[in-house]
Amino acid sequence: MNASTTDRFVIPIGPQHPALKEPGHFEFTVEGETVIDATVRLGYAHRGIEKGAEGRNWTQSLYLLERICGICSHIHSTAYVIGVEQMAEVEVPGRAQAIREVIAELERIHSHMLWLGVAAHDAGFDSLFMYTWRDRETVMDLLETISGNRVHYSANILGGVKFDLTDEAAAAILKGIDFLEERTRHYREVVSQDAFFLQRTRNVGTMTREEALQLGVVGPTARASGVARDVRVDAPYIAYNEFPAQIQLLGAGDLEARFLVRIDEMLDCYRLIRELLAGMPAGELTAKRMPRKLKPGEVISRVEAPRGELFYYIRSTGGEQPDRVKVRTPTLCNMGSVLTQTVGHNLADVPMILVGIDPCFSCNDRAVSVRRAGRAEGQAWSWADLRRYGINYYRRQLNLDTDHRPTDLLTY
Amino acid sequence: MALDLFNLLFFPAGLGLIGAGLLYQWADRKLLARFQNRLGPRWFQPFADAMKLLGKEEISPQGSSPVLFAFLPMLALAGALTAALYVPLFGLAPVFSFPGDLIVTLYLMSLLTMCIGLAGAQTRDRFSLAGALRVFTQMFAYEAPFILALLTPSVALMLAGQPSSWQISELATAAANAPVSHLLTLPITFVVALVGLMGKLELPPFDAPEAETEIVAGALTEYSGRGLALFSLARAVELVVGLTLVTALYLGGVGSGPLAAVLFTLKTIGLLVVIVVLQTLLARLRIDQTVNLWWRIGSVLVLAQWLLLILYRVLR
Amino acid sequence: MTLTQKPLQRVEALLEPWMKPDKTGRPAGNRLDIWLTADDLLPVVATLVEDEWGYLAAITGLDPGVATGELHVLYHFAEGAAVLTLRVVVPRDAAEVPTIRPLIPLAAIYEQELSEVLGVAIVGAPARGRLFLPDDWPDGVYPLRKDFQLEQFNDKEQGGS
């Protein structure tokens, strides 16, 4: 055995690892502390949602697609509804569009706050992690005030929104974002001035503009490398024409720039939400009529999710159900950059670079194959099976079990 | 004889020390939690954790020596407990004392780090191996400045032309009787000693050897039961011993009645608070940055302090 | 509107040689569709990359139904608000497209997904394990094809083990 083979070994990160909040599997070959090769395996959270949408009608699919992601649920449903509305040639009232935008921006704040905490934790800076997550509660409470839910707001329905934004809710939002803005400014100072933290972020994982273009990254990751790409600005959707977003651009391309771009985006969100609340158009919340069947056709809808461009391709063959829904999530675009960026870096920087793109694995992976213990073959459950299992589960939980199907479903 | 045995087994060394270590650990966790806007554990949490772990089965991993696997944690705790015999715990006179005990204590304190490193290096788990590598790297980084910083009070005495010694209790008396506090005359090495202690205990920002987001639990990843409990107790003991040593050498105040004991203990708690504040404020350093920090800054600072002492002596 | 029209005019000029009147469509104000054969794909993508028109936004695999005997592969490129879609039609029983990853590295992930879920072979791509589907997923079963049935999946699965 020569020295080079003894010195290098593979450090597996995932599918279960403290640095990953969702399952993904990376293998980093290291030499000493330096990464020399990286591979990825996805699909641990693949749930077959694209296939699932084909078997549901237009309305049911909306609720299914919204559940692709627990953090950016609203933006998924927005991408879907604006596509379907375009195909149905339905005019959505301005107020509904503005409410959609308010929720989208609140969601962005919530997502970026969450990310900031996770990134700080990966850098070993738990104080920042704890404080940002405390403040994130504020925006989650606001979303609960408006929609009744903290994560799956279900604000969108085909042709409009489900609920109105009351004056009390608007006042609560204004108060909440005042507090958040002050906090965000403080975090900007911390992130850009704390010497110890800067050691972990400055000139780490640097991606030049050329590399960013070549790797095809999107969202804040791209904007931190000076690539001016923001669907809200490039191709305004919902109410972004009337209430435009400002693109936040930095050129450094390192982790610090990725932090600052996201924080600047939050600050822009506060401005945008204030403008939206001040100029909220009056009117209806839903379109007059939304057809049950759609004409044959196809539509592409692009929106800016917190992590970057979200791409939907929807095709109708004239029925009550979509023929094909293709979802391309931003994390997929950015994943390639992780593999190339980590090579040559210190192992300690790997979680930071990974978290720098704000990976969302449930977005990334979208078949249900539940394995039963003790049997070699896998077993795919039908939706009816799953539903029956769910009902029986709660029956047992509540001790209502009169007819639960025993053992075989329980043993895995 | 009976008193010696009591001193050895119950107070101030032995069980009393372990109890105090766990309480200090609780104070550390609780303060850190409050600084981070969390609730933190209740006072008995470290005791409950230690009890639970001690009662758990230890699973010895394949490919490692079961003897070493079981023996290393014991050695680590034994080393920490023995080190405690030579330091003036709670401001009481040390259980044993002889000229040169400072050097012995410093070596015994390093035993814990060595054991953790070996424990990681002798398993086949990749996270443990990476952790062990980092433990040893870090040890070689902080050890020299840390030891030099702890020897400084004695060197200062020597340079001042006073009777010097390598005995902790004498140095403590000298520190207490110094006309100007060591805090003012030796401020640089005091800070180096305190920060070195954080390095030794692998507290943030020097927690790269057990950085959970990179290498899970570092060198101790394979430990789950009694071994882990013993290591964690050893750490708790080492926390008290380290704080006591820094306090004795730099702040003094040993062995003159109950009031001195209370004051001394308060001083150690004061140092603990300083350590917790540093933990709250600082983000984790990468291992290469740790090495850099100690060799480029830590050692130079110690040498600068010595140079100042010599200059002072020469000019006077 | 300039954000929409300018890029579209540019790409129309760029791709002039491949645009046949009956093979070009404008399904929406900001979109341009071009039907291509699999052989034309590489030169077209090379032209786009060379002249830096847009970026590959997604690759959609489409099953228009068993009766058609075809599978469609859609390459979406976006610049500003404009979206260009290259539509490649391949026969269902011999579905293959050339890989474009030498030109666009990111395409590797999309192509892998395409081959796993729709069974379009990627010519020129290095063989590797699965990226999205489970390791024990049976070979030759493609979930996004319209003739995919859960029952069929179960038969294969049990027959295989």
A410 CB-contact burial (10 Å; exposed 0-12 / middle 13-18 / buried 19+)? middle
Q: pTM of whole model > 0.80?
A: yes
The residue assigned the tokens 């900007």 is: A188
Which residues from C are below 8 Å from A88, CB to CB? none
Per-residue pLDDT for A21 more than 90? no
B16 CB-contact burial (10 Å; exposed 0-12 / middle 13-18 / buried 19+)? middle
Show the domains of chain C with their CATH numbers: 2-127 (3.30.460.80)
Tell me which range, A146-155, A330-339, A382-391, C150-159, is most confidently predicted by mean pLDDT: A146-155
Give the residue-averaged pLDDT of C123-129.
75
Q: Distance between CA atoms of B111 and B129, rounded to whole angstroms?
A: 18
The residue assigned the tokens 């350093």 is: B285
Per residue in A79-95, pLDDT tens? 999 999 988 888 889 89
What pLDDT was estimated at residue A400? 52
Ramachandran angles phi, psi of A130, nearest 5°:
-65, -45
Cβ distance of C134 and A214 shorter than 8 Å: no
> What's the gap in Å between the CA of A103 and the closest CA on chain B?
28
Nearest CA among A63, A104, A97, A60 for reference residue A82 = A97
Sequence-distant (≥ 6) Cβ neighbours of residue C1 within 8 angstroms: none
Mean pLDDT of chain C: 81
Per-residue pLDDT for A409 more than 70? no
Q: Calculate the CA dihedral of residues A336, A338, A344, A348 and round it to 10 degrees.
A: -160
Within 13 Å, how many C-alpha atoms sit on residue A61's CB side?
A: 29
Q: With touching defined as 3+ CB pairs under 8 A, do chains C and A touch?
A: yes
Per-residue pLDDT for A175 more than 80? yes
Between C63, C83, C136, which is nearest A300 by CB? C83
What pLDDT was estimated at residue A379? 46
Q: With touching defined as 3+ CB pairs under 8 A, do chains C and B touch?
A: no
> pLDDT tier at C36 (50, 70, 90 boundaries)?
confident
Percent pLDDT > 90 in chain A is 18
What pLDDT was estimated at residue C132? 77
The dihedral sign for the CA sequence A190, A194, A196, A200? positive
> What's the gap in Å between the CA of B153 and the closest CA on chain A?
30
Per-residue pLDDT for A393 more than 70? no
Q: Distance between CA atoms of A390 and A250, rounded to whole angstroms?
A: 48
Provide CATH 1.10.645.10 ranges for chain A. Answer: 58-67+74-298
Residues recorded for chain C: 161
Per residue in B64-116, pLDDT tens? 888 888 889 999 999 998 888 888 887 777 777 888 888 888 889 889 999 99
Per residue in B178-216, pLDDT tens? 777 777 778 888 888 988 899 888 888 888 888 777 777
Q: Distance between CA atoms of A204 and A259, rounded to whole angstroms?
A: 12
Give the residue-averaged pLDDT of A187-196.
88
The residue among C142, C144, C149, C152 with the most chain A CBs within 10 A of its CB, best to mutate, is C144
Give the residue-averaged pLDDT of B138-142.
88
Lowest mean pLDDT, pick from A174-188, A360-374, B36-50: A360-374
What pLDDT was estimated at residue C53? 84
What pLDDT was estimated at residue A366? 46
What pLDDT was estimated at residue A405? 39
Cβ distance of A328 and C63 shorter than 8 Å: no
Are B207 and B309 within 8 A, CB to CB?
no
Could you say which residues from 161 to 200 on chain A have a Cβ atom under 8 Å away from some Cβ of chain B?
Answer: 194, 196-197, 199-200
Q: What DSSP state is assigned to residue A152? A: -
Mean pLDDT of chain A: 81
Fold of A58-67+74-298: Cytochrome-c3 Hydrogenase; chain B (1.10.645)
Q: What is the ipTM of this complex?
A: 0.86
Give the residues across from A325 on adjacent strands: A314
Which residues from B are below 8 Å from A120, CB to CB? 283
Are B22 and B237 within 8 A, CB to CB?
no
Give the residues across from A229 on adjacent strands: none
| H or E element in which residue C98 lies | strand C96-98
Are C117 and C133 within 8 A, CB to CB?
yes
The number of C-beta contacts closer than 8 angstroms across A and B is: 80
| H or E element in which residue A276 lies | helix A255-278
What pLDDT was estimated at residue A376? 36
Give the residue-averaged pLDDT of A268-297.
88
DSSP 3-state of A340:
helix
Nearest CA among B216, B17, B43, A232 for reference residue C80 = A232
Per-residue pLDDT for B220 more than 50? yes
What pLDDT was estimated at residue A377? 39
Q: Distance between CA atoms of A333 and C57, rounded to whole angstroms?
A: 8
> pLDDT tier at A178 (50, 70, 90 boundaries)?
very high
Higher pLDDT, A12 or B21: B21
Cβ distance of B215 and A11 shorter than 8 Å: yes
Q: Does A279 touch chain B (CB under 8 A)?
A: no
Per residue in B268-307, pLDDT tens? 999 999 999 998 888 888 888 888 888 888 888 888 888 8
Q: Distance between CA atoms of B226 and B229, rounded to whole angstroms?
A: 5
What are the angstrom distances between the C-alpha of B203 and each of B267, B277, B279, B280, C125? 20, 12, 7, 10, 48
Which residues from C are below 8 Å from A299, CB to CB? 27-28
The residue among B34, B133, B214 with the most chain A CBs within 10 A of its CB, best to mutate, is B214
Residue B281's closest chain A neighbor by CA?
A127
Nearest CA among A288, A297, A307 for reference residue A119 = A307
What pLDDT was estimated at residue A132? 92
Per-residue pLDDT for A403 more than 80? no
Per DSSP bridges, beta strands A156-157 and A160-161 are antiparallel
Which residues from A are below 8 Å from C129, CB to CB? 41
Mean pLDDT of chain B: 85
**What is the DSSP secondary-structure string of B126-163?**
HHHHHHHHHHHHHHHHHHHHHHHHHHHHHHHHHHTTSP
The full 3-state SS of B89-110, as one line of letters, equals: HHHCCCCCCCCCHHHHHHHHHH
Which residues from A are below 8 Å from B284, CB to CB? 123-125, 200
Q: Distance between CA atoms of A29 and C131, rounded to whole angstroms?
A: 19
Q: Does A47 touch chain C (CB under 8 A)?
A: no
Q: Which residues of A62-88 are buried (b: 16+ CB within 10 A; e: fewer)?
A: bebbbbbbebbbbbbbbbbbbbbbbbb
Helices (H), chain B: 2-9, 15-35, 45-54, 66-85, 101-121, 126-159, 168-177, 182-185, 187-200, 212-215, 226-246, 258-281, 287-292, 299-315
> pLDDT tier at A382 (50, 70, 90 boundaries)?
low
Within 13 Å, how many C-alpha atoms sit on residue B144's CB side?
A: 15
What are the angstrom distances between the C-alpha of B58 and each of B53, B55, B73, B131? 9, 9, 12, 20
Per residue in A311-325, pLDDT tens? 899 988 888 888 888
The residue among C2, C111, C149, C150 with the most chain A CBs within 10 A of its CB, best to mutate, is C150
Q: Distance between CA atoms of A106 and A283, rounded to whole angstroms?
A: 22
> pLDDT tier at B59 (50, 70, 90 boundaries)?
confident
> pLDDT tier at A197 (50, 70, 90 boundaries)?
confident
Give the residue-averaged pLDDT of B253-263.
76
What pLDDT was estimated at residue A104? 92
Which residues from A are below 8 Å from B287, CB to CB? 33, 346, 348
> pLDDT tier at A292 (50, 70, 90 boundaries)?
confident
DSSP 3-state of A89:
coil
Sequence-distant (≥ 6) Cβ neighbours of residue C80 within 8 angstroms: A234, A235, C3, C4, C6, C7
Nearest CA among A338, A357, A334, A359 for reference residue A39 = A338
Per residue in B122-134, pLDDT tens? 888 888 888 888 8
Q: What DSSP state is assigned to residue A14? A: -
Q: Does A374 touch chain B (CB under 8 A)?
A: no
> pLDDT tier at A5 (50, 70, 90 boundaries)?
very low
Per-residue pLDDT for A1 more than 50? no
Per-residue pLDDT for A206 more than 80? yes
Sequence-distant (≥ 6) Cβ neighbours of residue B218 within 8 angstroms: B120, B127, B128, B130, B131, B132, B134, B135, B209, B210, B211
Lowest mean pLDDT, pick from A235-244, A373-382, B85-94, C115-124: A373-382
Q: Radius of gyration (Cα) for chain A, nearest Å?
A: 23
Per-residue pLDDT for B255 more than 70? no
Lowest mean pLDDT, pick from A210-219, A403-412, B62-71, B264-273: A403-412
Per residue in C56-109, pLDDT tens? 888 888 888 888 888 889 999 888 888 888 889 888 888 888 888 888 878 888
What pLDDT was estimated at residue A410? 31
Residue A204's closest chain B neighbor by CA?
B286
* Residue A142, both tokens: 């606001």
Q: Does A292 touch chain C (CB under 8 A)?
A: no
Q: Which residues of A33-46 are buried (b: 16+ CB within 10 A; e: fewer)?
A: bbbeebebbbbbbb
Higher pLDDT, A309 or C151: A309
What are the angstrom distances between the C-alpha of A307 and each of A115, A303, A334? 10, 11, 9
| H or E element in which residue A322 lies | strand A322-328
Per-residue pLDDT for C145 more than 90? no
Could you say which residues from 37 to 96 on chain A have a Cβ atom under 8 Å away from some Cβ of chain B?
Answer: none
